[in-house]
Every structure is written in structure tokens, then in C-alpha cells.
Structure 1
């Protein structure tokens, strides 16, 4: 079985009101979870991962409220990878820009894709089964 299909042993889920303070809390929670899981804060993926979490939560706060009253952040890690997801209940599923924006696109998702691509990671948008929300999942190698 591919290691990408195996569950990650460390997982933390955080649900917050879709409000500006959620960005800070999500970032601080990511820092704490990574430290508890033994990920060195100096690891080259940590600072970009924190920025990715911040950008994704900020996008949910900016674009999904209302109708989404909450944003849920999932953090997961294993020996060789880190996965981050941000979920809201806004039905719009954004198109992820190419990692190489060439200066044509700016904003949170372009930053997320640039960082993800530079680290050799992946990103995907997954819609809820009922069409009423979505998650953006980012997986980064450790």
C-alpha cells in the first residue's frame, strides 16, 4: 500500500468561529501541535506550513463568512509528511492557481500554491458531499 494512503499517526482538529482571531489561534495551535509531535521548529517546512495555515484560514474568514459560521482546521503528521486542511461551509470551491503564477495572480491561494510547490507538496480542494462546503488539503514532505 502506498504511504500516501496510510493514515498519519498524529492528528489534531480545531474548530473556531469564522472571525479574524481564528488566524492567530490556528497558527499558534499548529506550532504547538508540531512541537508536541516532535517536529523540529527549525525544520525547513515549519515556517512555510505556518504561513499556509494562516493564509487558508484568512481566506475562509474573508470569503466564507457568512454563510460559514465556523472554520475547522485539521493538522496531521507522520514520519515523512505533514497534512493541513481548512474547511468551511461556503459552497464556492476555488480553483487553485498554478504554483508558478508568473506574477499574474496574487493573494492567499497563490501564496499557498507557491509555497506548496516549492516544498514538493500537493494541494487539493475537496467538496463536501452535500455541496455546501469544502476543504483545502495541503500535504508537505517532512
Structure 2
């Protein structure tokens, strides 16, 4: 799939939540609102998988990064035919997304990469300029 870079998509929304368990629910509910606001119905075939992917990424950030990052940021971007979102934390570890299904089948990251691929989307880890954190960007066609 050739998708627009998330930075070039015209619609943006940013959510910052404390790195705690409630972050998953808040991020999921916000994602539903953003999708509706962008004109993507909750019954769209990509909505359920997108919500699961987001929940897995936020859960991972809470579980593995909360000790070093007080907040998690979710950035949403939307344009014609494309919905993208990123989960950002300040933990320096950058998970290898391309090997996730092979190294830990059934894990959260394996689920993320498998669902993203099934939807024809892309998953990319982008490190912060200072090396102290990262964002995992998911781009899905609509």
C-alpha cells in the first residue's frame, strides 16, 4: 500500500493520558469519537481492528513504559482514504515490528502487525530525535 505520510494528512487530533490502566479505555473511546468525527462509521470494516490495534499499543506502553514515562500520547491523522494513529511513550526501547509475529506469536505486537498487514496498512516505529522515546505509527486504508 502506498499511503500518505501521517504528517501530510490534513486532520489531526492529539490525546495525552496518564500512563495507567485507564489510558486504554480513554484512548479507545477517543478513537471511536475521532473516527466518527472523520466520517468513518463505527461499523466500517476497519474500525474494530483499528480499535484492537490501538488498545494493544496503549496496553504495551502502559505495561512496559510507565516506569519511565508519566504520560502516553496518541496522535490521530486522517485524510482521504487513510486513517493513521501513533502511540508515543518516552521509553527508549524500539520493538522490532517486522519480527514480532515470528518471535512471539500471539503476543500484542504480533497481533498488531498481523491485523495491520491484513488490512493492507503499515506499521512503523519512529524514534524520538533525542533517542529517549518512540512512536509506533499505524496507517490504515479506508
- TM-score by length of structure 1 reads 0.92
Quick one: structure 1 residues 68 and 133, their matched pair in 2 at CA, closer, same or farther if it must change by over 3 Å? same
Aligned to 1:131: 131
Aligned to 1:122: 122
* 2:126 partner SS: strand
Decide whether the 8 Å contact of 1:125 with 1:137 is kept in 2: yes
Q: Which has the higher helix share?
A: 2
Provide the C-alpha distance between the structure 2 equivalents of 1:72 and 1:89, rounded to a whole number of angstroms. Answer: 10
Shift of 1:102: 6.4
Aligned to 1:30: 31
Q: How many residues align?
A: 140
- TM-score by length of structure 2 reads 0.92
Give the aligned CA root-mean-square deviation in angstroms.
1.8
Mind listing any 5+ residue stretches in structure 2 that lack a counterpart? none
Mind listing any 5+ residue stretches in structure 1 that lack a counterpart? none
* 2:140 partner SS: strand
Quick one: structure 1 residues 57 and 104, their matched pair in 2 at CA, closer, same or farther if it must change by over 3 Å? closer
Decide whether the 8 Å contact of 2:12 with 2:76 is kept in 1: yes
Quick one: structure 1 residues 125 and 106, their matched pair in 2 at CA, closer, same or farther if it must change by over 3 Å? same
Aligned to 2:108: 108
